[in-house]
């Protein structure tokens, strides 16, 4: 995953660029393409689901956003390192949508 350096949200590939909802764009270089296996093709066995930002299905927790000071954030866990290491906890502010990580 590529995160936006401007707002912290996940950037998605769109043609030859990663694009963020905040408007920031980053050109997909060969290095980034190899790193993230960027492809416009989707195999029939793969499922890709995009939802609008108005869908609030993630759980929330009380924590302070480092960007705006809001006291609530959505959270989810994802295995980003080796299987024998703890999962990474991602948080996204419910107010400004800034996304950050916490490690155990």
The catalytic residue positions are 84-85
C-alpha of 87 from chain center = 15
Closest CA to 53 of 82, 96, 14, 86: 96
Rounded distance between C-alpha atoms, residue 84 and residue 64, angstroms:
29
């Amino acid at each position: 995953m590529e995160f936006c350096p401007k707002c912290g949200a996940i950037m998605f590939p769109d043609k030859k660029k990663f694009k963020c909802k905040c408007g920031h764009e980053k050109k997909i270089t060969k290095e980034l393409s190899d790193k993230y296996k960027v492809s416009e093709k989707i195999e029939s066995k793969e499922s890709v689901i995009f939802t609008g930002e108005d869908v609030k299905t993630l759980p929330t927790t009380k924590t302070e956003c480092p960007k705006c000071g809001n006291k609530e954030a959505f959270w989810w866990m994802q295995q980003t390192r080796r299987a024998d290491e703890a999962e990474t906890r991602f948080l996204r502010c419910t107010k400004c949508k800034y996304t950050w990580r916490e490690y155990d």
